Structure 1
Amino acid sequence: MASSASSSSDVGVILNELTCPVCFVLYKEPICLPCGHSFCRVCIEKSWENREEETGYVCPNCREVFPQKPKLKKIVIIANLVENMKLKKGKVGLGVEAQDAEHADVNVKEGVKSWGSESCCEVCNREAAKRCVPCEILCCEKHLKPHQQKGHKLVDPGVKIEELRCIGHGKPILLYCKNDGSLMCVTCMGEEHQDHKVVGVEIAHAELKSVQDVLAAKYPHVSQSMQSVASKLRQVQEEEDQTENASRDAEDSLEEKRRLVCQFVNESVDLMKSEINKRKMEKLSLLGKQRKKLEQQMKDLCQGKSAMDTALQDLEAISFLQASKDLLKRLTTMSDFNSVKRTPLPVLDFSKEEKNLDGLITLNKNFLEKIQKGPVEHPDKVELDQNNLRRLYGRSPSLDPNSAHRLIKISGDLRTATRTWTENQYPEHPDRFDVHAQVVSRDCFSSGRYYWEVNVRSSSWWGIGICLNSMGRKGAESGLGMNPESWCLFKCDDEYSAYHNKQRTSLSIPGYHERFGFFLDCEAGELTCFGDSRVLHVFRGNFMVPVRPAIAVWGVYGGSVHFVHLVKQTFITN
């Protein structure tokens, strides 16, 4: 048995040596190339036929190129060995005839380039398993064995040979320079990398793989950081867009105010000039009448004086006596002129008109001086009282019905919020408050200055303030002043408080107030609450994001609260 096994093993070795490396069956008419490799004549002929367009003739095994087609001579010794093996087929049971029959089916792949993108073996039609880098050939599992035995570098079929060769020398990349992190061939090592620390690419890959693992562990953190930065970038972009829109709206509003101010000044000056001209004409008419009367008196006096001169010069008794009676009568009339007193007319007084204009000029001059000094700061509460706030920044907000709680009824003019006993049939809406009896304004502010007033005469339990547009509308946390996104002036019976983020500040407000004012300065980040012409409390926060005025009407006593319609203020000229 041992002898039989040994004989079978020896025959197997001999069979491997008598097998064509192209068709993997016993040689049929074996030939030898100048490089020493043997093939079946039909295999090598088909291989060269499919490469007629290439320069020279290539050995499918070692890839040596022959400029001219080598003479193909039959190797008699190998042919005889093959025949002897066929005679022994019955003894070893190797199916030599079957292998020999397969030889007729060998079909070398046509038109395959070593640099192509095909995925088939360049020797046969089988699917390629690897690409041999030194030989630049795609090989299937069977044709890969000679390259593995020679220790050639093998890569996946999809890898391009050009990427694995040194650009400068065209040789395989085998080394990695740690000094400058470059890949190189053996020739490169003797040039600029001579004194550098150089290792094999496999060693470098193993070392860098640990770094890769560290990077992979940090990848989720980097990804999260990218998402966070992207979110902040979107917020910055939104704020930039909001700033552009707010600036454009502010400029449009200023242009409108410029037009209104110019119109007001022109109308005021024209009205004053008309009044001045009217008073002038009245006085000139009276003076004209006095002048005509005095001119007539002067004429009569001149005539009397002339008559007296004539009488005094006429010494004849008869003539003097004839004229004396008429002359004495004239003298009596002229003596009455001295008793007549002229009533002086009142001086034209335009001091009130000038005072009104001086007030407007002074106010604008102070405003311009503040602008010239730098950014407009928060207005001085002493200089800008509620009258000035109404005139300069007055707004009349309107309520948003889509946000009203079902126990809040909104008036037709959208200014009054009334607490009802039964729920109103409002449609479902994501902005509607579902727990607290509250409503917000349609107006949304993120830049500039705004002033509005609220009348609370009909309610004893209310909350008034502002909230961020992003404040939630659902649940217990949506109450005004009960979260970090709202600021609220609160009244219950006769007690006043200021609420923000559940923090309560008790306020001492004596007396009964029916009207409260609210001045919002977005840039300064302040909401100033006024009552009875004095500051009650100042809320501070980031009001450069969209905020809305808000109203709450609580308690079982009902009541209503409404935004006051602020009428444009004008100067009084009389």
Structure 2
Amino acid sequence: MASSSMTGVCADELQCIVCFELYEEPITLPCGHSFCKVCIKQHWESREEATVCDCPNCREVFPIKPKCQKNVALAKLVEKTKLVPGVNAEKTKLVPGVNEEKMKLTSVVNVEERRCTEHGKPIQLFCKDDESLMCVMCLVGQHKNHEVVPVEIVHDELKGILAEKCPELSKSKQHLESQLHQLKREVEQTQDSGKGTVDRMEEKRLALYQYVDKSVDLMKSSVIKRQNKKIFLLQKQMDKVKEQLNSLHETNSTLKAALQDLETISFLQGYKDVIKRLESVSHFQTLKMAQPTVLDFSKEEKNLGSFIELHENFLKNIMKPVELQMSELDQSSLRSLYGRTPSLDPNTAHPWVKISQDLRTATRTRTDNHHPKHPDRFDRLAQVLSSESFSSGRHYWEVEVRSSRSWGIGICLNSMGRKGGGNECMLGGNPESWCLVKYENKYSTWHNNQRTLLSVLGDPERFGFLLDCAEGEFTCFGDSRVLHVFRGNFLDPVKPAIGVYRHVGDSVRFCSF
């Protein structure tokens, strides 16, 4: 702080609180506060109500705009102070069209933001306890005994903190760019794989056409062969009947001629011949024709109908909406597409289950956590449900178990029992719940009190769960693979659930995405 021996006045006392520089053409308002003439002018012009004139220091409002007459005595003190070595006497000059606007903005910022709103003094300090800006007079108020540092120091500290975030931000950016590049490559690979399949399908289309044509031609040939065979046999019968008919015609003519022969000797000579003819054709009259039969081609038609039905069913399956198989997605994709972060419902937690403040972690304790009584609370089993329930769509979440040696994780209907320690309240012990369990270093799944042992590689610290309500599937993931798939009716609302049964201090946490 520079002072003048000639004036006995500190330079800071001759500083305008708007621009924080030595007065330039100082004027004094009726309230007694002084400012640079240009500063007070710019301050008034920056107000929303141009007709309102107030003091930037004490906020007194003047009904009539005060006359901005130069304070000669104050101006002389400023001039004398400028002559003192070490006093910065430079002041920004206004450049028409440029600095005027800048001055206008600076005036607003200095007055409204760089001055303590409570004491009207320049902001010079920063309270670390409250993380707020303050002036020197605030030290005796609400910031008393707080950790207070000059704004320049905290400015450097906070800039350092932000600078430390840069590498982390850059690393995250590089990670996301790498993920994007990997996804693009997977898109290209998927397109290439599909292209080959489509080409091969086109080849099979031609083979299928040939197969259909050959199948129909064979069935048509079978029909025609049977027709021709029967027609051939019928034709032979017709030829034989015609032959017999001709014999009858000849015999009939001979008989008529004999009957018309009136000469005795001639009749007797031809009588035996007529009798022989009659005997040769007498058996024709005893022949009995079978009833006409029509060939039955229903077998061929049925075979062709079965062939068509087979392909109709095949086409129906093809025409069904094609859904991406969940087994074709890795857990990273499931997080991105269907990721959820369930929150625990404190009203369901057993008294020995402590819930973290962020409602993500359930910890087994030895003593009662004094949860208030609630009808949804488990009273005998160390279990807790989530606040969320799902009855449609797909939902994927992950659970971290690195801090627990024994646990149960799954889903249950809201109707599952809560009071008592029997199977009706145990996750997986009833028809209303489905659960993945770790107990004595063995993994298994439970539903309706039926156990299925699992083979799990190592000791995973995180497990994933995918609920597909429409398909009725609840899939458990571990060590980057599918461990088990429950199937059931999940159109009724189900809740994610956690059990921390055995060891005090064990905790299970819903992971955040």
- Class of the TM-score when normalised by the shorter of the 2 chains: 0.3 to 0.5
Q: TM-score, normalised by structure 1?
A: 0.35
Higher-Rg structure is 1
Q: TM-score, normalised by structure 2?
A: 0.39
